[in-house]
Amino acid sequence: MPHIPDEYWNAIVECDPSFNDSFIYAVKTTGIYCKPSCKSRAPKRENVNIFKNAYMAKEEGFRPCKRCKPVGAILPAEEWVGQIRAWIDENYHKHLTLEGIAELFHGSPFHLQRLFKQVQGMSPNEYIQKLRMEIAVQLLEEDKRKVKDISEAVGFQSTPYFITLFKKKYGCTPATYRKKGGEKQ
C-alpha cells in the first residue's frame, strides 16, 4: 500500500481547497483522479494514490473527475459514458441506482442520465435492464438453476418483477421460455 502522508489524507477527507495546487489523488477502484477539494465521498485510504499533478495521474491510466474537473480537464461524454457502461457490464448483478453510479463516477444523476441517453440512446436504467434480460435469457438456456435464482443472479431484487418484465419483453414467462427451448412466443 502506498504511503499517504496524514496531511494529504486529511486534506482529501476534509475537501481542503488549500491543497489543490499541492497534489492530485487517484482512486484505484474507480480509475478517477481528483483535486483534494473534490466534494465526492471520501475513498478508502488503501485505494488512493497520490500524484504531483494531473499529468502524472493520467499517465498512470486514471481519468479526470467530472465533478471537480482537476486542472480544467473534462472527459468527453462518449468516453465517460463508455467507462460507466463498462463498469455496469461488470457489476449488473449488484443493486445499482442512478445516484450511486453518478457518485461513483463523480457526476450528478441528472448529468449522467442526460449524457448516457444521448450517447447510448437509452437511460442507464434501461441499459441495466436490457443487459440483465440478455444474461437471464442466456442462463435460462444454459443453466438449470431455478427462475428465482437466475433472477437474483442477474440483479433483480424481486422475482415477480423479473417475471413481469420478462413476459412483457418475450411474450412468455421465464419458465415457459425455458420449457420451449428458448423459443419466443
Catalytic annotation, residues: 34
Positive or negative, the CA dihedral 89, 91, 94, 100 is negative
**Per-residue cell: 63:** 481519468
Find where cell 481519468 sits.
Answer: 63
Cβ contact 32:64 at 8 Å: yes
Report phi then psi at 120, rounded to 5. -95, -20
Find where cell 441517453 sits.
Answer: 117
Q: Residues with Cβ < 8 Å from 21, sequence gap 6 or more?
A: none
Cβ contact 119:84 at 8 Å: no
Q: Residues with Cβ < 8 Å from 69, sequence gap 6 or more?
A: none
How far the first Cα of the chain sits from its last, in Å, is 55
Q: Rounded to whole angstroms, how far apart are CA atoms 154 and 142?
A: 14
